[in-house]
Amino acid sequence: MKKILVIGGMGYIGTVFIKNMLKRNYMITCIDNFIYNQLIQKNLFSDIKNFKFIEKDFRNFDFEVSYLNKFDNIVIFGGLVGDPITKKYNDLSVSINDIGLKKVIDAFDNSLVKKIVFISTCSNYGLVENGRLADEKCKLNPLSQYAKSKVELENYILSKKGKVNYEAIILRFATAFGLSPRMRFDLTINEFVREIFINKKLVVYDENTWRPYCHVVDFTNLIEKVINYKKDDINFEIFNAGSEKNNATKFQLTNKLKMYFPNAKFIFKSQGSDLRDYRVNFTKVKKFFDFNPQISIDDGIKEILKELKEGKYKDLNYYSDKLGNYSIDEKI
């Protein structure tokens, strides 16, 4: 049974990853400090015997080599996630996403860990002109503090090549969507569905900008494929994580929503604050891991709509973290 250390695993994607990997009989240890006050997740997996939780800020955790040697793989989700929150808490972002994560990565240098999986983002491409599909060799153009930190960490990890014993794989995630124990409605598809359902109208900025999307369960399946990959030809490689069939403009998303909300009102505006516009090539991840995401954007819309119809996620004041990630414990 493989033992996995998950750093920052109680967030939107991490909780889905842990939930599914526990079902598949992996041994999971998670380090997280609930920076978003997401107390709903506090005892999420407490009754599962092959799960151990450590409530700790990874910046202050003692990653001794003898401790790390207990694990086969390490998956790093940890950090402040997204453009708005890293802009709002800039100093804290630097402390966590830059200084803190570099310190964590340095701790792995002399360990016997076999594989490190670092979760990065396709936001690193920022703005790709002329409709080009951005592959892993495309010039990076990070527009936000969040993406700039991810690029810096990618380069820091790659600088370890030939100096450490573990394999390192970097996954640039597409924009996530779908249900999670730690739900977020600040992500495009999730936000659009909830906004239309509740308010019967949706304001959409820069509707012709592109973005790739991928369901949270498909991300779990990819990480598992990476962990179990036997060859050494992925060592210190970067992979875009997603599917070209889920590249979509915001306008295309509204057309999908019209099938479920025919009477909804869509208001299109220009010059929004988010300048990102990129389509992504996912040939490499399909070639190496035979990765074909199974959950479509339509599937994601339907599963969220089902929950909303059952009365869930309507009143954000009911949830301690407002189901987003814009408010954190400022004492951290």
**All domains of the chain, ordered by start, with CATH?**
3-184+213-246+279-295 (3.40.50.720)
**What is the pLDDT confidence band of residue 88, given thresholds at 50, 70 and 90?**
confident
**What is the pLDDT confidence band of residue 174, given thresholds at 50, 70 and 90?**
very high
Residue 302, beta-bridge partner list: none
pLDDT of residue 92: 92
Residue 327 pLDDT > 70: no
What's this model's pTM, rounded to 2 decimal places?
0.95
Give per-residue pLDDT as tens, 224-276.
Answer: 999 999 998 999 999 999 999 999 999 999 999 999 999 999 999 998 888 89
pLDDT of residue 172: 98
* Cα gap 113→166, rounded to integer Å: 6
Give per-residue pLDDT as tens, 102-127.
Answer: 999 999 999 999 999 999 999 999 99
Residue 328 pLDDT > 90: no
Contact 37, 321 (CB under 8 A): yes
